[in-house]
Structure 1
């Protein structure tokens, strides 16, 4: 059977941020804290830039997991927020399921903490329900690299696509000419080595 390249479509995707909670984020060991924060906020900026719907969710906020990190809600003030009372798999919560359905989108861009639990469990459930699932690997964190790799294998074998936040941004954008400054601005702000490239571009444009 020939391969079918399923591209992300900015008009048919929803971003799910699952359990990026103040307590759980402290368990992330496969990225250093600065790197992980940068990746998560970059993904939130991408969702905001494309005007895609987003659903934010937490589990058992009153317990040690804590609240959703503030910066995500600040970047996505219009996102739907679901505080789950305790369900570990977000797809076991009816309000969350209905929030995803209400977007009318068939492509799911998902990230979360921890990768093998808070991301993998709903990702597998979403695939089972017929959604196309795209897992953002560098905006999802867990204890260690070996636990991350096991989770990635489990999800990819089920049909999830694995990509980083920059690939999400680029696949949605399609063509640099659509918005050089806006798209490049995201890269400039969240990829340190791109900062000087954008400066060079801006200088060359101003010199014309």
Structure 2
């Protein structure tokens, strides 16, 4: 059962599975909805966050021989893991991907990919129709134009999908900073990828370790 409100509607790492779709050079070359540097940064941050919380992550590409290999900033997070290469434009029509997701026995399906209007929208809408609780990470995705990205988001919301950013997802998985087993590792991801927040944390640590001078 999918809940839209209340505590049960929030994402939990033990119930989540992440699918990263087509973060490849060909798609990045015509990405115009976001700064390409930020999409690479955010997709890497999303991958690292999943690793922190032991969220199973499925990596998939489309026709990699022509479109190129998935960004190394993602694959290095999961060394040695197979990337499922497809011919289907719609990831959810590739049975190998679907079987890999089902094998996790988790129902909170988290998706990010390039491009939003095609490679994210199609599997998200199909999975929603099959009863999955689908969340799309919008800032680790991107489209050929701002319009294409925004229209795709509207289409997926109308179909019942949730929209989040990578940092919001990481915070929802963490839920409580007293969970020290993940808090320390997540803080490292924030330091590396959350720009102002990461730098502010480093500054805070500097100030806390700076002796206070007193008048003689």
Report the TM-score, using the length of structure 1 for normalisation. Answer: 0.91
Task: Confirm or deny that 1:19 pairs with 2:22.
Answer: yes
CA deviations over 1:68-89 (Å, ceiling 9, x no partner): 22221111236553111x1110
The residue number in structure 2 matching 1:195 is: 198
User: How far apart in 1 are the matches of 2:81 and 2:168?
Assistant: 22
User: How far apart in 1 are the matches of 2:5 and 2:205?
Assistant: 38
Once the two structures are TM-superposed, the CA of residue 205 in structure 1 deviates from its matched residue by 5.6
Once the two structures are TM-superposed, the CA of residue 147 in structure 1 deviates from its matched residue by 0.8
* 3-state DSSP of counterpart to 2:68: coil
When structure 1 is superposed on structure 2, of 107-116 and 53-62 the one drifting more is 53-62
1:166-181 aligned at under 5 Å gives the runs 166-179=167-180, 180-181=183-184
Once the two structures are TM-superposed, the CA of residue 3 in structure 1 deviates from its matched residue by 5.4
User: How far apart in 1 are the matches of 2:184 and 2:194?
Assistant: 15
Q: Does the CA contact (< 8 Å) of 1:80 and 1:99 recur in 2? A: no
Tell me which structure has the larger Cα radius of gyration.
Answer: 2
* 3-state DSSP of counterpart to 2:143: coil
1:113-192 aligned at under 5 Å gives the runs 113-179=114-180, 180-192=183-195
Please list every run of 5 or more consecutive structure 2 residues that lacks an aligned counterpart in the other structure. Answer: 212-216
The residue number in structure 2 matching 1:48 is: 51
Q: Does the CA contact (< 8 Å) of 2:109 and 2:134 recur in 1? A: yes
User: How far apart in 1 are the matches of 2:81 and 2:55?
Assistant: 9
* 3-state DSSP of counterpart to 2:13: coil
Please list every run of 5 or more consecutive structure 1 residues that lacks an aligned counterpart in the other structure. Answer: none
Q: Does the CA contact (< 8 Å) of 2:108 and 2:134 recur in 1? A: yes
Once the two structures are TM-superposed, the CA of residue 36 in structure 1 deviates from its matched residue by 1.4
The residue number in structure 2 matching 1:10 is: 13
* 3-state DSSP of counterpart to 1:152: helix
When structure 1 is superposed on structure 2, of 17-26 and 135-144 the one drifting more is 17-26
RMSD of aligned Cα (Å)? 1.9
Give the one of 61, 67, 70 matched to 1:68.
70
Give the one of 35, 59, 69 matched to 1:32.
35
1:86-101 aligned at under 5 Å gives the runs 86-101=87-102
Q: Does the CA contact (< 8 Å) of 1:16 and 1:110 recur in 2? A: yes
* 3-state DSSP of counterpart to 1:176: coil
User: How far apart in 2 are the matches of 1:34 and 1:126?
Assistant: 29
